[in-house]
Amino acid sequence: FVVAQANVHDPEARLALSPLTESPLVCEAIVRYVMRSQQDLVLDDASQSTLFQSDPRVARQGVRSVLCLPLVSQHRLHGVLYLENNLTPGAFVPERSHVLKMLAAQAAIALENAQLYASLEERVAARTAELGSANARLEAEAAERKLVEEKLSESQEQFLTFMQLFPAPVFIKDAESRTLYVNRSFEEYFGGDWLGRTPHELFPPDVAGQMEADDRATLAVGTVERSEIVADTQGALHIFQ
């Protein structure tokens, strides 16, 4: 592609991406030759060059002086500088060519830096998009988790309300037989401070041992087995089923 072009009638460089094959100001054969060889090419008269005199554009436009330089940096071709003078043969003398070669080297470095910067911008944009997508997923997951927690809290409140109004004594234990919850009927019937305490903290060793054995059996089989334990609580005998 031709990305920038200028001529004596319009010296201001114009940026216009156009296919190399469609450019009226560039000899495609010369440009491709330099791209392949990555060597400087100076033609005093292209119409007399054995390499290009038969090229249709050279013959049609009467191409004379040509200077074509590869823009190479760190062994990578970044572009080609193409200069053409159709009025005078031998227009690109060594003194002028030397300056242009220096400018071409600087241009190659600038192009490489521009490409690196563009690549970096693309990677940053892609990473930003990834982070944005990840943040969106995290926000959606957080919102879903919050909704689940609210529903769970609501269900727990409904369950505890139901348990409080249930007419029979109800208690809940953890895997270590520690009492986690008792309903109102349980408190009214048994009294005492049950929460956070194990059977060994509430009953004699024989009764506590039987209660814990029943709890372990229930955990092992996953179903509640009916059992009866007579125990003294608050100075009265009660039957735990």
126-172 pLDDT, tens digit per residue, is 888 888 888 888 888 899 999 888 898 888 888 888 888 888 888 88
For the residues 96-114, what does the mean pLDDT come to?
77
Please state whether beta strands 179-182 and 76-85 pair in parallel, antiparallel, or not at all (unpaired). Answer: unpaired
Q: How far is CA 75 from CA 36, 65, 90, 116, 176, in A?
A: 13, 27, 29, 15, 74
Q: What is the predicted pLDDT for the residue at 65? A: 92
Rounded Cα gap, residues 64 and 100, in angstroms: 18
For the residues 1-27, what does the mean pLDDT come to?
72
Q: What is the predicted pLDDT for the residue at 37? A: 92
pLDDT of residue 54 exceeding 80, the answer is yes
pLDDT of residue 189 exceeding 70, the answer is yes
Rounded Cα gap, residues 21 and 2, in angstroms: 9
Give backbone dihedrals phi and psi of 113, rounded to 5 degrees, phi first.
-65, -40
Q: Which residues pair with 230 in a beta bridge?
A: 239
Task: Mark 125-153 as b/e (b = at least 16 C-beta within 10 Å).
Answer: eeeeeeeeeeeeeeeeeeeeeeeeeeeee
pLDDT of residue 194 exceeding 80, the answer is yes
Rounded Cα gap, residues 211 and 231, in angstroms: 10
Q: Which residues pair with 231 in a beta bridge?
A: 238
pLDDT of residue 177 exceeding 60, the answer is yes
Q: What is the predicted pLDDT for the residue at 29? A: 92
Highest mean pLDDT pick, 15-19, 39-43, 155-159, 200-204 = 39-43
Q: What is the predicted pLDDT for the residue at 4? A: 66
**Looking at 59-68, 147-156, 185-194, 220-229, which range is the least confident one?**
220-229
pLDDT of residue 212 exceeding 60, the answer is yes
* Residue among 130, 26, 23, 32 nearest 86 (CA): 26
pLDDT of residue 15 exceeding 70, the answer is no
Q: What is the predicted pLDDT for the residue at 229? A: 46
| Average pLDDT score over the chain | 81
pLDDT of residue 74 exceeding 50, the answer is yes
DSSP H stretches of helix in the chain = 28-37, 56-61, 94-165, 184-190, 205-221
Confidence of residue 11 (pLDDT cuts 50, 70, 90): low
pLDDT of residue 52 exceeding 50, the answer is yes
